[in-house]
Amino acid sequence: MGNFIEEIIEKDLASGRVDKVVTRFPPEPNGCLHIGHAKSICLNYYGTAVKYGGVCNLRFDDTNPIKENENFVRSIIEDVKWMGWHGNIYYASDYFQLMYECAVKLIKKGKAYVDDITPEPMKEMRGTLTEPGVESKHRDRPIEESLALFEDMKNGKIADGALVLRARIDMKSPNINMRDPIIYRVLKATHHRTGDKWCIYPMYDFAHPIEDAAEGITHSICTLEFEDHRPLYDWVIDECEFEKKPHQYEFARLNIERTIMSKRYLKKLVDEGFVDGWDDPRMPTIAGLRRRGYTPSALREFCERIGVAKANSEVEVGQLESCIRDELNAKAPRAMAVLDPIELKITNLPDDFEEEVDFEINPNDENAGVRKVKFGSLLYIERADFEAVPPPKYKRLTPGAYVRLKGAYIVRCDGFEEENGCLKRVLCSLVEGSKSGADNSGVKAKGVIHWVNAADAVPAKARLYDYLLLPYDGVHEDFSERMNPNSLIEKNAYVEPYLAQAKPLESFQFMRQGYFCRDNKSEELVFNQVVGLKDTYNKK
Ligand code: ATP
Ligand code: MG
């Protein structure tokens, strides 16, 4: 059984209300897209247009020249295409003439009038849920007068905000959106596409249905906040006398715990320097997720798993993470990187000892095979893999313990060297005959640790990420008081030379550390942590 949108579409196709599904994804170019938009793209494009052999337009809702710009348009196109979308691109601003004509038509029908109301009295006169609104003294102004004033608005003769065009519907309507909403305003601002051609701009509730009708949209899918606007949507379509009538359907927007999902706030994070741009890997933007190492298929999988609902809810971040983890677990090559290095010296090998050992590229992919890794007498290991005084059940290096070096030999820890009171190097001896895959030593290792051969180790930076926001403590509502000071920790690591060949955005499993993806911006060798190894979501 499909989701409720699919049920509606299947019924419409069966009854002949539509013969081809046409949807749209309508971002406002006032910020970069976030994961909530990815959900909308998945629903409008994959779940609807692609599934039923229709089309999905990318349409920029560029009706507010003050907040919108060309850079956001470009980044949105890049992101939507990256998600796999194909189709035609439209702009609401292409319909400004049509919208203007629709407005004139409404005035001529007595369905719109010019008013001089300003925001404060507008709010007061709108009434409340229990009290009807108050009619403006200009509500019954002659049609000719409204037409002339609207022309003055259009021709730049009216100051910003001095006059508005209002739909003439019903001040007593139980739906406040129907109480003579403003449909056009004067705004002397330069638009990024139409320049100074217009100094009147349509309001969203008036513009959106016209855009949909102009493109022959059959199913106009939006989030639940617009449910109460649907009567106005239908009113505009009817009164402007469009023959093909698009229908609006609402679904629950995506909310993820500890995740900011509003362009306005994301913009604040960028503008106030909390993050390093819209594509900072900590950002829940599509650009940030891409740079973090997420793939379009993982985002689609996430949208599949969470489904489409009619009731708002909050998704756990772990659910998103498990999608990319599952994908990388199946696909990502394994490699060794030491993020917090100390030396391990094998004392019973010559200093210049060198050998190649086989390293299994991916145990989950039988076709992946092995690759050769150099092994010598001096290695780097993780500082945490040695304890001079081990806690109970410690399975790693400690004097007297036997541990396997992943893919290579078992070593016995003999001791350690300090420098100025700090651990400098761990001293070990190699166990004869313990080579991985051909072990006849009879020695049992307590644990397995990863390592990097010092002779050909490559320095790299590893960026470890935590959530941008601390958990909500019931007090600090504002995100700027909940910023996690440890959301980024940079480590000076050593990695295998194999990893120095990584292409930007190529991902690997760093053995025992997590999944990492080569950064696509730094000149240096930088790896961003995609996600940890442990699944905290599915384990629950
Ligand atoms: P924001 O509040 O982040 O600015 P918005 O809804 O104003 O979001 P738009 O650019 O107008 O952003 O949105 C484009 C489309 O994406 C709309 O159809 C909107 O319903 C949808 N969308 C936005 N946020 C979400 C979300 N969190 N979950 C699902 N769909 C969303
Ligand atoms: Mg919006």
What is the residue-wise DSSP string for 376-389?
ESEEEEEGGGB-SS
Kindly give the number of the ligand 1 atom that is closest to the alpha carbon of 254.
Answer: 28
- Does 337-450 match 4-251 at the fold level? no
The reply to whether ligand 1 has any atom less than 6 angstroms from the CB of 166 is no
The Cα–Cα gap between 282 and 266 comes to: 11
- Predicted pLDDT of residue 1: 65
Q: Contact, 106 vs 239, CB < 8 A?
A: yes
Which among 263, 290, 300, 334 is annotated as catalytic?
A: 263
Cα–chain-centroid distance for residue 17? 35
Residue 514: CB within 6 Å of ligand 1?
no
What is the per-residue pLDDT across 489-515, written as a single tens digit (0 to 9) for each? 999 999 999 999 999 999 999 999 999
The band of 374, judged by pLDDT with boundaries at 50, 70 and 90, is very high
Q: pLDDT tens, 102-144?
A: 999 999 999 999 999 999 999 999 999 999 999 999 999 999 9
Percent of the chain with pLDDT strictly greater than 70: 99
Q: What CATH code is assigned to 263-333+460-539?
A: 1.10.1160.10
Atom of ligand 1 nearest to the CA of 226: 20
Do 8 and 249 touch, CB atoms closer than 8 A?
yes
CA of 431 to the centre of ligand 1 (A): 61
- CA of 279 relative to ligand 2 center, distance in Å: 20
Active site includes 28? yes
Query: Considering Cα of 78, then 79, then 83, then 85, what sign does the dihedral take?
Result: negative
* 8 Å CB contact between 75 and 288: no
Sequence ranges of the domains in the chain: 4-251, 263-333+460-539, 337-450
Instruction: Determine the distance separating the centroid of ligand 2 and the alpha carbon of 301, expressed in angstroms.
Output: 25
Which atom of ligand 1 approaches the CA of 39 most closely?
29
pTM of the model: 0.94
Predicted confidence band of residue 293 (pLDDT cuts 50, 70, 90): very high
More confident residue, 52 or 479: 52
Q: Using 50, 70 and 90 to split pLDDT, how confident is the model at 18?
A: very high
Q: Catalytic residue at 290? A: no
Point out which residues pair with 415 in neighbouring strands: 427
Question: Is 222 close to ligand 1, i.e. is its CB under 6 Å away?
Answer: yes
Q: Which atom of ligand 1 is nearest to the CA of 261?
A: 3
User: What local confidence, expressed as pLDDT, does residue 284 receive?
Assistant: 97
CA of 31, nearest ligand number: 1
Is residue 425 annotated as part of the catalytic site, yes or no?
A: no
Amino acid at 61: D
Provide, rounded to the nearest whole percent, the portion of the chain with pLDDT above 90: 94
* Alpha-helical segments (H) within 293-420: 296-306, 317-331
Provide the 3-class DSSP secondary structure of residue 280. coil
Closest residue CA from atom 25 of ligand 1? 36
Structural fold of domain 337-450 = Ribosomal Protein L25; Chain P (2.40.240)
Q: Is pLDDT above 70 for 540?
A: no
Q: Which two tokens stand for residue 338?
A: 């030491």
Q: Which ligand is nearest to the CA of 40?
A: 1
Q: Does domain 4-251 have CATH number 3.40.50.620?
A: yes
Look at residue 78 and tell me whether its pLDDT is greater than 80: yes
CA of 246 to the centre of ligand 1 (A): 19
Of the pLDDT bands very low, low, confident and very high (cuts 50, 70, 90), residue 346 is very high
State the greatest distance between any 2 C-alpha atoms of the chain, in Å, as a whole number.
102
Residue 92 Cα to ligand 2 middle (Å) = 13
Please give the average per-residue pLDDT across 353-361, as a whole number.
Answer: 96
68-73 long-range Cβ contacts below 8 angstroms, 24+ apart: 68/28, 68/29, 68/30, 68/192, 69/29, 69/30, 69/192, 70/29, 70/192, 72/29, 72/30, 72/31, 72/32, 73/29, 73/192
Length of the chain: 540
Q: Within 13 Å of residue 257, how many CA atoms lie on the same side as its CB?
A: 13
Encoded tokens for 332: 């990502």
- Cα-only R_g, the chain: 31
Per-residue burial over 34-69, b = 16 or more CB atoms within 10 Å of its CB, e = otherwise: bbbbbbbbbbbbbbbbbebebbbbbbbbbbbbeebe
* Nearest ligand for residue 33 CA: 1
Reported as a pLDDT band with limits 50, 70 and 90, residue 313 is: confident
| Cβ 219 under 6 angstroms from ligand 1 | no
Neighbours of 300 (CB within 10 A): 20
Give the model's pLDDT for residue 480. 82
Determine if ligand 1 sits within 6 Å of the CB of residue 40.
yes
Q: Is the pLDDT of residue 332 over 60?
A: yes
Identify the pLDDT of residue 539: 61
Q: What is the DSSP-derived secondary structure letter of residue 337?
A: E
- Number of C-alpha atoms within 13 angstroms, CB side, residue 242? 24
Burial class (CB in 10 A: 0-12, 13-18, 19+), 241: exposed
Kindly state the average pLDDT of the residues 67-75. 95
Q: How far is the CA of 37 from the centre of ligand 1 (A)?
A: 6
For the chain, how are helix, strand and coil distributed in percent, rounded to 5?
A: 30, 25, 45
